[in-house]
Amino acid sequence: MSRLVMVSNRVIDFNAATQAGGVSVAIYDALTRHKGFWFGWNGQVDETENATPQVAESGGHKTVTISLTPDDYNEFYLGYSNSVLWPVLHNRLDLAQFEAGYYARYMSVNEKFASTLAPLIEPDDVIWIHDYHLVPMALELRKLGIDNPIGFFLHIPVGPAQSLLAIPEHKALARALSAYDLVGLQTQSDVRNLMDFLQQSVFGRLLPSGRMRVFDAELDISCFPVGITPSDFATPAADLPIETPEISRIIGIDRLDYTKGLPQKFRAFGKFLEEFPEHRRKIGLSQFAPPTRESVEAYADIRAELEALSGAINGRFGELDWVPINYIHRPMPRAELRDVYRSSRIGWVTPLMDGMNLVSKEYVASQDPADPGVLILSMFAGAAEQLRDAVLVNPYDPLDMVQALHTAIEMPLDERIARNAKLARTVAKGDSITWSNSYYRSLTKAGQRRIGKVAPSARMTDALKKLSSTSKKKSSLKSHEAHAEG
Ligand code: ADQ
């Protein structure tokens, strides 16, 4: 069996971590089923450049990590990755900061990652690279002679092509993507947006086979919705019933990020209390939102905004013995997540845009099937493509948010049971094993196709070649038609 080499910007020590983001959770789960190792940044910033990777093994997981320099941290991590790619891919061009020097550092860190990893690669390894920090890494590995299957998976959404085209280096990024055998995304809508972008940026063409031709390469672009491990959240029958709080709890668990729609949520909650005074003192919103990327300006702004909003709402509606919003600036320990989800009457998950959103799936999987809570889910979370039986809501529309909250609070038991049963089936069917296995299988196949071990058929390949050379002449017109085909 081939080794699986997982690569992501940040490698987490799960024994030490109190909080883990969605990417680490997904990678860790996949590595428990494959031999191999996890390569990336150890989270440390060292003044001096240190190219020697640190190898560690714990709980059956092997990690190989390097540190970043202060310049790498500022310009690669906070800069190009989180102040350019993150906002643009989330369709927040207004927050993007195209600073000189960011892109050069982004490239040099990708080169450093590639040159440290390349000597560790064995001929049968399958390399799976995660997320927007590392788009150019496959191209750098190819330059070093690595011919193994290399796949990319983007955990965050792909905004509309028009936004992506505003990135000054968009053509170079498109070329970098062409070095992958497989590009995996979370949703069908992301697949459409990326194909549209590649067509407009570098005249990529959708082939009749469903693959995309970009420059002289062909790649597969498909969606693989990330799942969770539902058994981590289900309650064993032997467990004692979980105590539910006297005041019905609405739970919010997010990283403190402007994409998560937290101000909209707080405002809608205030409006709900204003319009439905009969529910005051009976419900409370508990929002966990630990800060991330605090030195990026937009993150400091959102923190200040939320503190002001929760203070204003608590000041206006609060009583001596009731605080409407319990806003907690810490991560929730993972061991306690299940019980907190299960004892909360409503899971309120309303990002403005989100790749998938694992919290929504964790909430569903934690519910008591005989007396489940209700999931309110943003129509702009990737998970909404799958979780159609949630109360779907437009987080930009305050009236819709207030109405959704009212519907969820008033929902009769039989409807809660029916919705939750369907949601739980969907979450179980698309679990994290399904996600990583199907991605791994597709990547292996795509890699073999590239190196000619599995040609679709000689005739088909020739036909595609002819098609591609005639259409080069009519590139812009053709690319438009190909989009219509897709
Ligand atoms: P995230 O933006 O981190 O992930 P999400 O999918 O919700 O978002 O995953 C968060 C994970 O971290 C969950 O497992 C959750 O339990 C945990 N978490 C979040 N806030 C927490 C808190 N306050 N305390 C404790 N744990 C917390 C990125 C993308 C998502 C995509 C994932 C996985 O932005 O869209 O779903 O990757 O692909």
220 plus 258 within the same structural domain = no
Query: Which pLDDT belongs to residue 300?
Result: 84
Question: Per-residue pLDDT tens for 180-202?
Answer: 999 999 999 999 999 999 999 99
Query: Which pLDDT belongs to residue 245?
Result: 79
Residue 293 Cβ contacting ligand 1 at under 6 Å:
no
CATH code for the domain of 334: 3.40.50.2000
Return the active site residues: 155, 354
Residue nearest to atom 15 of ligand 1 (CA): 359
3-state secondary structure of 20: coil
Report CA(248)–ligand 1 centroid distance (Å).
24
Residue nearest to atom 4 of ligand 1 (CA): 22
81 plus 193 within the same structural domain = yes
Q: How many whole angstroms separate alpha carbon 377 and alpha carbon 227?
A: 16
Question: Per-residue pLDDT tens for 37-62?
Answer: 999 999 999 988 877 899 998 777 89
Query: Which pLDDT belongs to residue 295?
Result: 79
Q: How many whole angstroms separate alpha carbon 120 and alpha carbon 291?
A: 35
55 plus 141 within the same structural domain = yes
203 plus 251 within the same structural domain = no
451 plus 383 within the same structural domain = no
DSSP code per residue over 215-276: TTEEEEEEE------GGGTSPPTTSPPPPPPSSEEEEEE--B-GGG-HHHHHHHHHHHHHH-
Q: How many domains is the chain built from?
A: 2
Using the predicted structure, report yes or no on whether residue 103 has a pLDDT greater than 50: yes
Contact 380, 158 (CB under 8 A): no
Calculate the CA 406 to chain-centre distance: 29
166 plus 293 within the same structural domain = no
271 plus 413 within the same structural domain = yes
- Of 302, 340, 359, the residue with max ligand 1 atoms within 8 A of its CB, to mutate for a pocket test, comes to 359
Using pLDDT thresholds of 50, 70 and 90, give the confidence band for residue 466: very low
Residue 156 Cβ contacting ligand 1 at under 6 Å:
yes
Using the predicted structure, report yes or no on whether residue 89 has a pLDDT greater than 80: yes
- Of 429, 452, 467, the position where a domain reaches its end is 429
- Of 429, 445, 470, the position where a domain reaches its end is 429
Residue 263 Cβ contacting ligand 1 at under 6 Å:
no
191 plus 324 within the same structural domain = no
Residue nearest to atom 37 of ligand 1 (CA): 22
- The domain in which residue 453 lies consists of 4-227+433-485
Torsion of CA 441, 443, 449, 455, to 10 degrees: 20
39 plus 154 within the same structural domain = yes
388 plus 470 within the same structural domain = no
Using the predicted structure, report yes or no on whether residue 294 has a pLDDT greater than 50: yes
- Of 189, 253, 327, 387, the residue with max ligand 1 atoms within 8 A of its CB, to mutate for a pocket test, comes to 253
Using the predicted structure, report yes or no on whether residue 457 has a pLDDT greater than 70: no
pTM of the model: 0.91
Using pLDDT thresholds of 50, 70 and 90, give the confidence band for residue 20: low
- Of 429, 457, 472, the position where a domain reaches its end is 429
Query: Which pLDDT belongs to residue 241?
Result: 63
Residue 439 Cβ contacting ligand 1 at under 6 Å:
no
Residue nearest to atom 22 of ligand 1 (CA): 331
Where b means 16+ CB within 10 Å and e means fewer, 122-143 reads eeebbbbbbbbbbbbbbbbbbe
Lookup: tokens for 48: 């001096």
Query: Which pLDDT belongs to residue 58?
Result: 78
163 plus 268 within the same structural domain = no
68 plus 52 within the same structural domain = yes
3-state secondary structure of 174: helix
Token look-up 């809501």 returns 393
Of 291-295, 360-364, 402-406, 431-435, the one with minimum mean pLDDT is: 291-295
Using pLDDT thresholds of 50, 70 and 90, give the confidence band for residue 467: very low
Question: Per-residue pLDDT tens for 118-171?
Answer: 999 999 999 999 999 999 999 999 999 999 999 999 999 999 999 999 999 999
DSSP letter (8 states) at residue 77:
I
